[in-house]
Amino acid sequence: MKTPWLYLLIFLKASLFSSGGMGNLPSLHQDLRSLDWATEADFGQALLIGQIGPGPNGLWVISLGFLTGGYLGALFAMLAITFPSLLVLLISAAYHQFEAQLWMHQMMRGIALAVGGLLLTVCWSLLGGTGQDGRKWLIGTMAFGLGLSGRVPLLLILVLAAGMGYLCYGFR
Protein backbone atom coordinates (compact mmCIF):
# COMPACT_ATOMS: atom_id res chain seq x y z
CA MET A 1 0.00 0.00 0.00
CA LYS A 2 1.71 3.15 -1.21
CA THR A 3 -0.41 5.99 0.23
CA PRO A 4 -2.54 5.06 3.25
CA TRP A 5 -4.95 8.00 2.97
CA LEU A 6 -5.54 7.43 -0.74
CA TYR A 7 -6.13 3.77 0.08
CA LEU A 8 -8.74 4.76 2.69
CA LEU A 9 -10.41 7.20 0.28
CA ILE A 10 -10.62 4.54 -2.46
CA PHE A 11 -12.40 2.13 -0.11
CA LEU A 12 -14.57 4.92 1.30
CA LYS A 13 -15.62 6.08 -2.18
CA ALA A 14 -16.50 2.52 -3.16
CA SER A 15 -18.57 2.07 0.00
CA LEU A 16 -20.36 5.42 -0.17
CA PHE A 17 -21.43 4.96 -3.78
CA SER A 18 -22.53 1.33 -3.64
CA SER A 19 -25.63 -0.48 -2.52
CA GLY A 20 -23.95 -2.93 -0.16
CA GLY A 21 -22.92 -6.54 -0.54
CA MET A 22 -20.69 -6.75 -3.57
CA GLY A 23 -21.89 -3.45 -5.01
CA ASN A 24 -18.50 -1.87 -4.37
CA LEU A 25 -16.62 -4.55 -6.32
CA PRO A 26 -16.49 -2.72 -9.69
CA SER A 27 -15.20 0.51 -8.16
CA LEU A 28 -12.59 -1.22 -6.01
CA HIS A 29 -11.50 -3.42 -8.90
CA GLN A 30 -11.05 -0.47 -11.22
CA ASP A 31 -9.22 1.72 -8.71
CA LEU A 32 -6.97 -0.88 -7.10
CA ARG A 33 -6.07 -2.57 -10.39
CA SER A 34 -5.29 0.73 -12.11
CA LEU A 35 -2.85 1.58 -9.30
CA ASP A 36 -1.42 -1.98 -9.33
CA TRP A 37 -2.24 -2.31 -5.63
CA ALA A 38 -4.25 -5.52 -6.14
CA THR A 39 -4.13 -8.53 -8.43
CA GLU A 40 -6.95 -10.60 -9.84
CA ALA A 41 -5.91 -13.32 -7.38
CA ASP A 42 -6.40 -10.87 -4.48
CA PHE A 43 -9.95 -10.20 -5.60
CA GLY A 44 -10.65 -13.90 -6.10
CA GLN A 45 -9.34 -14.80 -2.65
CA ALA A 46 -11.18 -11.92 -0.95
CA LEU A 47 -14.47 -12.87 -2.60
CA LEU A 48 -13.98 -16.51 -1.66
CA ILE A 49 -13.26 -15.61 1.96
CA GLY A 50 -16.32 -13.35 1.98
CA GLN A 51 -18.53 -16.15 0.66
CA ILE A 52 -17.35 -18.90 3.01
CA GLY A 53 -16.94 -16.71 6.09
CA PRO A 54 -19.81 -15.99 8.47
CA GLY A 55 -21.65 -12.69 8.31
CA PRO A 56 -22.76 -10.40 5.52
CA ASN A 57 -21.30 -10.66 2.01
CA GLY A 58 -19.97 -7.10 2.24
CA LEU A 59 -17.27 -8.20 4.66
CA TRP A 60 -15.20 -9.51 1.75
CA VAL A 61 -13.84 -5.95 1.54
CA ILE A 62 -11.98 -6.42 4.83
CA SER A 63 -10.28 -9.49 3.38
CA LEU A 64 -9.32 -7.50 0.30
CA GLY A 65 -7.94 -4.77 2.54
CA PHE A 66 -5.82 -7.31 4.40
CA LEU A 67 -4.59 -9.00 1.23
CA THR A 68 -3.60 -5.73 -0.39
CA GLY A 69 -2.56 -3.61 2.59
CA GLY A 70 -1.96 -5.85 5.58
CA TYR A 71 -3.46 -5.04 8.96
CA LEU A 72 -3.66 -1.32 8.23
CA GLY A 73 -5.44 -2.08 4.94
CA ALA A 74 -7.94 -4.30 6.76
CA LEU A 75 -8.55 -1.56 9.34
CA PHE A 76 -9.08 1.07 6.64
CA ALA A 77 -11.41 -1.24 4.70
CA MET A 78 -13.43 -1.93 7.84
CA LEU A 79 -13.70 1.78 8.63
CA ALA A 80 -14.71 2.53 5.05
CA ILE A 81 -17.52 0.00 4.92
CA THR A 82 -18.95 0.98 8.31
CA PHE A 83 -18.79 4.75 7.81
CA PRO A 84 -21.80 5.03 5.42
CA SER A 85 -24.07 3.24 7.92
CA LEU A 86 -22.82 5.43 10.73
CA LEU A 87 -23.41 8.50 8.59
CA VAL A 88 -27.02 7.45 7.91
CA LEU A 89 -27.61 6.89 11.64
CA LEU A 90 -26.20 10.31 12.53
CA ILE A 91 -28.27 12.06 9.86
CA SER A 92 -31.38 10.18 10.96
CA ALA A 93 -30.85 11.14 14.61
CA ALA A 94 -30.26 14.76 13.69
CA TYR A 95 -33.27 14.86 11.39
CA HIS A 96 -35.64 13.62 14.09
CA GLN A 97 -34.51 16.44 16.37
CA PHE A 98 -35.20 19.12 13.76
CA GLU A 99 -38.03 17.72 11.63
CA ALA A 100 -40.68 19.91 13.29
CA GLN A 101 -38.72 23.11 12.62
CA LEU A 102 -39.90 25.40 9.82
CA TRP A 103 -36.41 25.75 8.33
CA MET A 104 -36.15 21.94 8.00
CA HIS A 105 -39.39 21.82 6.01
CA GLN A 106 -38.13 24.65 3.81
CA MET A 107 -34.81 22.89 3.29
CA MET A 108 -36.53 19.61 2.38
CA ARG A 109 -38.77 21.53 -0.05
CA GLY A 110 -35.68 23.08 -1.61
CA ILE A 111 -34.09 19.64 -1.97
CA ALA A 112 -37.29 18.33 -3.57
CA LEU A 113 -37.27 21.24 -6.02
CA ALA A 114 -33.60 20.60 -6.83
CA VAL A 115 -34.37 16.95 -7.51
CA GLY A 116 -37.29 18.02 -9.70
CA GLY A 117 -34.95 20.35 -11.60
CA LEU A 118 -32.44 17.55 -12.08
CA LEU A 119 -35.22 15.30 -13.31
CA LEU A 120 -36.33 17.97 -15.77
CA THR A 121 -32.76 18.37 -17.00
CA VAL A 122 -32.39 14.63 -17.54
CA CYS A 123 -35.78 14.42 -19.27
CA TRP A 124 -34.87 17.37 -21.48
CA SER A 125 -31.55 15.84 -22.52
CA LEU A 126 -33.07 12.40 -23.10
CA LEU A 127 -35.99 13.71 -25.12
CA GLY A 128 -34.05 16.31 -27.08
CA GLY A 129 -31.01 14.19 -27.86
CA THR A 130 -32.78 11.58 -29.97
CA GLY A 131 -34.65 13.80 -32.36
CA GLN A 132 -37.90 15.70 -32.27
CA ASP A 133 -40.88 13.45 -31.84
CA GLY A 134 -44.17 14.51 -30.26
CA ARG A 135 -44.84 11.08 -28.81
CA LYS A 136 -41.57 11.14 -26.83
CA TRP A 137 -42.43 14.57 -25.48
CA LEU A 138 -45.90 13.40 -24.51
CA ILE A 139 -44.65 10.29 -22.68
CA GLY A 140 -41.94 12.27 -20.92
CA THR A 141 -44.26 15.07 -19.91
CA MET A 142 -46.89 12.66 -18.61
CA ALA A 143 -44.29 10.70 -16.62
CA PHE A 144 -42.88 13.92 -15.19
CA GLY A 145 -46.35 15.16 -14.27
CA LEU A 146 -47.24 11.90 -12.55
CA GLY A 147 -43.96 11.97 -10.66
CA LEU A 148 -44.43 15.58 -9.65
CA SER A 149 -47.93 14.87 -8.33
CA GLY A 150 -46.52 12.46 -5.74
CA ARG A 151 -49.65 10.34 -5.89
CA VAL A 152 -48.39 7.63 -8.25
CA PRO A 153 -45.58 5.27 -7.18
CA LEU A 154 -42.36 5.63 -9.17
CA LEU A 155 -42.36 1.97 -10.19
CA LEU A 156 -45.84 2.36 -11.70
CA ILE A 157 -44.71 5.48 -13.58
CA LEU A 158 -41.75 3.57 -15.04
CA VAL A 159 -43.97 0.65 -16.07
CA LEU A 160 -46.54 2.98 -17.66
CA ALA A 161 -43.84 4.95 -19.53
CA ALA A 162 -42.21 1.73 -20.74
CA GLY A 163 -45.58 0.39 -21.87
CA MET A 164 -46.38 3.58 -23.74
CA GLY A 165 -42.94 3.52 -25.35
CA TYR A 166 -43.50 -0.06 -26.44
CA LEU A 167 -46.93 0.77 -27.88
CA CYS A 168 -45.61 3.80 -29.73
CA TYR A 169 -42.29 2.44 -30.98
CA GLY A 170 -42.35 -1.34 -30.60
CA PHE A 171 -39.38 -3.35 -29.37
CA ARG A 172 -36.15 -2.33 -31.10
pLDDT tens digit sequence for 62-100: 999 999 999 999 999 999 999 988 988 888 888 888 888
pLDDT band for position 166 (cuts 50, 70, 90): confident
Does residue 157 contact residue 147 with C-beta atoms inside 8 Å?
yes
Q: What is the pLDDT of residues 1-48, one digit of tens each?
A: 578 899 999 999 998 888 777 788 888 999 999 999 999 889 889 988
Does residue 78 contact residue 62 with C-beta atoms inside 8 Å?
yes
Does residue 14 contact residue 24 with C-beta atoms inside 8 Å?
yes
Distances 94 to 59, 97, 104, 108, 162 between C-alpha atoms, Å: 28, 5, 11, 14, 39
Q: How far apart are CA 111 and CA 116, in angstroms?
A: 9
pTM, two decimal places: 0.57
According to the 3-state scheme, what is the secondary structure of 70-122? HHHHHHHHHHHHHHHHHHHHHHHHHHHHHCCCHHHHHHHHHHHHHHHHHHHHH
Give the other-Cβ count within 10 Å of 171's Cβ: 5
